[in-house]
Structure formats: C-alpha cells, structure tokens
Structure 1
Amino acid sequence: MAVTYADLRFAEIPLREIKVSEDLAETDAEDGDVMYENITGPNQPRVRTAPPAPPTGPDKYLRTGFWALVPLPTLILLLLSLLFLASTIGLTVTYIELSHQFHHLNWSLTQDLQRKEEELSAGKRNLERIWEEKEKMVQEKIHLNASLRECDRRSAGEREDLVWGINHLNTSLLECERRDKESTDKKKEAEERLKDLCPDDWILFGRKCLWFTNEKINWWKCDQYCKSEEGNLIVVQKNDLRLQDFLFNKTEDSWVGKEFNRNWYQRWKWPDQYENDWGKCWHIKDRNLKQESCSETKKCVCEKNLVHVSVKKYKSDDSPQLKLWGTSYHCWKND
C-alpha cells in the first residue's frame, strides 16, 4: 500500500525579473527556501517547479487569496461604501431616535400648551367674572350710598320728629306727674276725711269699712256678730279680683255672706254666681270661693257701706227718690 503525503512550506519571496533561466539556481540558492513536492513512487526523481512570473514593476509582492482577485481601487470603493453604509445606518438610527424624541417633546409641549391654554381660558373667565362682580359691587355701592343718603335725610327728619316727640312726651309726663300728684294729694285728703267715717279698728277699702275678727266661729255666729256691729258679713263677687286680692293679703280663710235681694221678696240670698247647696256656706281661701259645712269654724270679715246720697223730689210727687251707685230708691212716709 502506498501513502502519499506532501510537505508544504510557503515563504514570502520578493519577485524580481528573471533574466535568464540559468539564474534560477542561483536565486534559489540565495533565498534558501524552495518548494518541494512529494511524488508517489519510491524511485521517481524530484522535479523543481519554477514560480510564476511576478507582475511588472520592481519590488512587487505577490498577493494571494481574496486580495489577489480584488483590485485595489475596487477595494477602496468597497471600503468607502461600507463606511458610507455604516454612516447612513448610524445617521438613520440617530434620526429615528431624534425623531422619536422630537415627537415625544412635541407631544409634551402640545399637552403643556393645551393645559396652559385651558388655564389661561379659566383665568380669563375668572377675570371676567371678577370684573362683572366688581361692576356689580360698584353699582351696589352707588345704590347703597344713595340709600344711605336717603336714610340720613329721613333719619334727620325722624330725629327732629323724635326730639319734638320726646320734648312733647316729657311735657306730657310732667303734666301727668303734676296731675297724678294732685290726684294723689286729693285722694289722700279724701282718705283722711273718710277715715273718720269708719269706726275704730275698721279698715277703709273703697266705699266700705271692713273689720276682721281673730276668733274662729261658725257661719251663723259670724252673720249675727256682723249684724250686731251694724254691718253685714262681707259679700265677695266672683269677678271682684281686687277685693279677693285684698282679702288674700289680710286673712287666710274667712266666711263670706249673702247679699240683699232688692226685689219684691226683699230677702238675703247668695250671689247669682254661687252654686247653692243646701246646708253649706261659702268661704274664701287663696282667692277662691268654696263651699263647706256651715258648722265649721272660720274667721269673720264684716263690712259697712259708706253712703253719701242726695235726696230730691221729682215733679210734684211728695215722695223723695235717691240714686245710689246706679240703683234708684223710693221712700214713702208712713202714716
């Protein structure tokens, strides 16, 4: 079995012009490196292969592989194209990024501008509203000033009227005080004169003289006792609040009596406002008229009327007539 192998050794050999073929041996001897080729077969002689002729020009090197196929200008153009393509791609990427940033910035600026325009519009509306309110307040101020001037004018007139009214009222009050003093003085004089009309220990009240007992007895004894003093047991009408208040301040509980009925029967009876229950008598307590058994014991209040009447004849009648507190009386002479 035969094995084929080859030992290859390459070296950069400067290419020069070979003048004659005889110089090849000397050139190989000077270079020291040659290319050998193993050939199959044990006895086949080794053949030296001459290298290709170098390109024209002195001192030119041999180019191998891709570079041997591509001319130098084409390579330069290719490199320039690659550089241009890379630059174009970079510029395109930069343009895209800048365009994206520009669009984002433009969108942000548009949003800010719209927001600012809205704020400006709102501020303008607020300013218009404030201006309208200001105009309204100015009109209200003018109207208020006019109203205040009218009010001052009216107040001045009313003040004058009030001063006149106060002066007139003071004059009237002074006159009333003077008249009241005169009336009080006359009343005191009348009371002083009337005091002499009531017996000792009797109290003057209106047109009556009243006497209060300290002893508590039943109603019949009170009635008899008052008649023995030329008086009667006091009669209290339900609508006579002044007399009720006076009795409330003088006595806590006392009997009251009947009034004289001036009709044809000429008898004593309870006032019409009282409810007449058989076997019960009336008394006054805490300003209220109440019924109770006549046999109970209570204090007595007797009364006497102060009578001041004038008697005169009417027409040719010899019988005199008199009028006392709205009631007419006729008198006849007994034969």
Structure 2
Amino acid sequence: MKALLVLCFVCFKALLVFCFICFSRTPESSTIVFCLFTVNRSSTKDFPVCPSLELCPSDWLYFQRKCYYLSESEASWNSSQSFCSLHNASLLVIENQQELITKQDPWIGLYKRNEDFFWVNGKPLDNELIEVKGSGNCAYLESKGVSVSGCYLTRKWVCSLNISLA
C-alpha cells in the first residue's frame, strides 16, 4: 500500500484570482508533482478538487498553517466575527503583507477602540505594517490596502483559523 501525502496550498493574489498549488510526494520515489490552477472565486464550483488532509473544516482553505473561510454572503462586521467565532476562528488578523489580498473588500479582524486600532486577538495595530484609510470603526481589505467604515454595513468576510500540525 503506497502512502501518499498530499498538501493543498492556497496563495491569494490581487484581483480575486486564487492560485491553487497542489503537490504530492510518494515515499518510494520522493517525486514532487505540481499542478497549478487559476480560478475565479465568483463560484465555489470553479475550484479544483484537491485531495484533503482534513486539516481544515469543510469549505475552508489551507495556507501556511492556517485555514481560511471566504464568505459567499454578506453580513455586518459583528455578525461576521460571530460566524468565525462559532467555528473557533476569528476574522482575519494580518500578520504580514503576504497574508491575503482580494478584490472582494471583505471584513477583517481589525477595529477601532477609542482612537486606536486593535486586532480581534487583542494586539494593537502595527502602523508600520498597515496604513488604515477612511473613517469608521471596522476594517476591511481593499485592493489598495486596509480601509474602515461603519460596522453596520454588510460585506463579505474572511475567517482565519490557526491549526497545529503536531
């Protein structure tokens, strides 16, 4: 019986194009096979089928030790965070510039408290990493960076779930 280890990685690129890279390694040959798919996120049926390691919940995507959920529907910032919390996740906390860029303008886990911005994990915003534009208390991604608006507005959202490979 051959053991097959399959990992699916998702790299997110600007303009709502997602690049799926699947690779597998067989212990016998140590061969790595790459397959590259580019799809439009407008419909989940367009996603290629990658074998799963079941690291992430159904309908979530794995990338760099995190699972991501990209909503199809729109909701307020608070409702979006509640959805993520129900899945033991949170709205996306951006830790580096490569984390995620999308054209959908989704809610992320950044909010304004008094005059300062904080991530939903309690950490203050690093102003050297991200510049926030606009007025409002709840943040969302846009093609030019991070902006804020009223939390009551409805948008799509991105949940992030840290996973352990141990």
| 1:227 and 2:85 correspond | yes
Q: CA–CA distance in 2 between the matches of 1:289 and 1:254?
A: 10
RMSD across aligned positions (CA): 3.0
Q: Cα distance, 1:211 vs. partner?
A: 0.7
Is the partner of 1:235 in helix, strand or coil?
coil
Q: CA deviation at 1:269?
A: 4.0
Aligned to 1:213: 71
Query: For the residues of structure 1 that align with 2:31 and 2:139, how far apart are their CA atoms?
Result: 38
State the match for 2:154 in structure 1. 297
Shift of 1:299: 0.5
* Aligned counterpart in structure 1 of residue 141 of structure 2, from 275, 279, 284: 284
Q: CA deviation at 1:183?
A: 7.3
How far apart are residue 216 of structure 1 and its match? 1.1
CA distance in 2, matches of 1:253, 1:216: 11
| Corresponding pairs, count | 111
Distance 1:270 1:294 in 2: 19
Matches of 2:78 and 2:124, distance apart in 1: 14
Deviation at 1:287, TM superposition (A): 4.7
Q: Which structure: larger Rg?
A: 1
Q: CA deviation at 1:242?
A: 2.2
**How far 1:295 moved relative to its partner?**
1.6
CA separation of 1:216 and 1:270: change in aligned 2, threshold 3 A: farther
* 1:227-264 superposed Cα distances (whole Å, 9 cap, x missing partner): 01111111124xx23223xx32xx5210110242xxxx
Secondary structure at the counterpart of residue 99 of structure 2: helix
Q: Percent identity?
A: 24
Answer 1 or 2: which has greater helix percent.
1
1:289 positional shift = 1.0
Partner residue of 2:105?
A: 253
Q: Is the 8 A contact 1:259 1:271 kept in 2?
A: no
- Quote how far apart the aligned CAs of 1:278 are: 8.9
Superposed displacement of residue 281, structure 1: 1.3
Give me the whole-angstrom Cα distance separating, in 1, the residues matched to 2:67 and 2:144.
20
Seen in structure 2, the aligned counterparts of structure 1 residues 297 and 307 have a Cα distance that, compared at 3 Å, is same
Task: Provide the rounded CA distance (Å) in 1 between the counterparts of 2:99 and 2:63.
Answer: 9
Shift of 1:272: 2.4
Contact 1:259 / 1:270 at 8 angstroms: preserved in 2? no
- In structure 2, list runs of 5 or more residues that go unmatched: 1-28, 35-49, 110-118
TM-score by length of 2: 0.55
Greater strand percent: which structure? 2
- Tell me which amino acid in the other structure corresponds to 2:139: W
Which has the higher relative contact order, 1 or 2, with Cα contacts under 8 A spaced 6 or more apart? Answer: 2
The match for 2:58 is 200
The 8 Å contact of residues 256 and 284 in structure 1, kept in 2 or not, is answered as yes
Residues 255 and 282 in structure 1, CA contact (< 8 A), matched pair in contact too: yes
C-alpha contact (below 8 Å) 2:107/2:157 kept by paired residues: yes
Q: 1:162-201 counterparts in 2 under 5 A?
A: 182=30, 184=32, 195-201=53-59
* CA distance in 1 between partners of 2:62 and 2:163 (Å): 10
The answer on whether the counterparts of 2:65 and 2:165 sit within 8 Å (CA) in structure 1 is no
Alpha-carbon distance between aligned partners in 2 of 1:235 and 1:217, rounded to the nearest angstrom: 18
Partner of 1:243: 99
Which secondary structure does the structure 2 equivalent of 1:241 belong to?
A: coil
State TM-score, norm by structure 1.
0.29
